[in-house]
Amino acid sequence: MGKPVIQDWVTELTFMQQTVLLTAVRGPDGTPKYGPVKMLQRWFRRCVLVSSLDGEDLTNPYDKRGGSFMGPSYEPPLKHIRSASADHVLHWEDAMSEIVDEYLRTLDALPHHYQLHLMHAVEIVGYKHPDKRIRSWWKSVYLRLVKDMHLNPETEAALDDRLSDSRDRWLAHADHATVA
């Protein structure tokens, strides 16, 4: 008890970046529990939260632990399941990229607001996650999401400036119509 549910690396981010990550933890209502949206969402949660059922960081998208909220995003082929030490051989990036393909095909059915929350959170994981493999994969997802929306990606420096915990810096990047 007393340990936060967010992974240690998240606590090193600005409050604004932490908030962006937490707003994306909840998926949209009305999507299938085992569809591409929820499977991508599960892997995102594993990269940001500590598994409440296991008290551990789940560092791959196929580990059977995590319950339904943070459960596996896919089941690896049996030929790849050898032992815990063989995890590095599994090419989860390919399987998860197929899920991103399906996610992008379902975007028209998703609330735009949800998509923006997820895109911004994925950007943070893609720039800040301590594991190079995980960070690289999420950055590639961020670039795909940005490209799909016909936008230009934000640099890490621009992200840090926009979400720096400075109201003045945040206002410099906000539209006057949406500033409270």
What are the backbone dihedrals phi and psi of residue 49, each rounded to the nearest 5 degrees, phi first? -105, 160
Question: What is the span of the domain harbouring residue 124?
Answer: 8-74+87-170
Q: Specify if 147 maps to a domain.
A: yes
One pLDDT digit (tens) per residue for the chain, 180 residues: 678 999 999 999 999 999 999 999 999 999 998 999 999 999 999 999 999 999 999 999 999 999 999 999 998 876 555 555 454 456 899 999 999 999 999 999 999 999 999 999 999 999 999 999 999 999 999 999 999 999 999 999 999 999 999 999 988 989 999 887
Show the tokens assigned to 104: 């992008």
Angle made by CA atoms 91, 96, 100, in degrees to the nearest 5: 150
Q: Specify if 163 maps to a domain.
A: yes
How far from 130 is each of 71, 84, 126, CA to CA, in Å?
21, 21, 10
pLDDT at 88: 45
Q: What is the pTM of this model?
A: 0.92
Please state the domain count of the chain.
Answer: 1
Angle made by CA atoms 114, 45, 21, in degrees to the nearest 5: 55
Q: How far apart are CA 105 and CA 111, in angstroms?
A: 14
Please choose, from the candidates 100, 4, 98, the residue with its C-alpha nearest in 3D space to the C-alpha of residue 44. 100
Q: Specify if 130 maps to a domain.
A: yes
Show the tokens assigned to 33: 């529990």
Q: Specify if 97 maps to a domain.
A: yes
Which residue is associated with the tokens 């016909």?
Answer: 150
Look up residue 63 and give its amino acid. Answer: D
Q: Specify if 176 maps to a domain.
A: no
Show the tokens assigned to 117: 């929350």
* 106 DSSP 8-state letter: T
Q: How far apart are CA 111 and CA 30, in angstroms?
A: 10
Q: Specify if 112 maps to a domain.
A: yes
* 80 DSSP 8-state letter: G
Which residue is associated with the tokens 């109201």?
Answer: 167
pLDDT at 85: 46
Q: Are 55 and 65 in contact (CB under 8 A)?
A: no
Q: Specify if 175 maps to a domain.
A: no
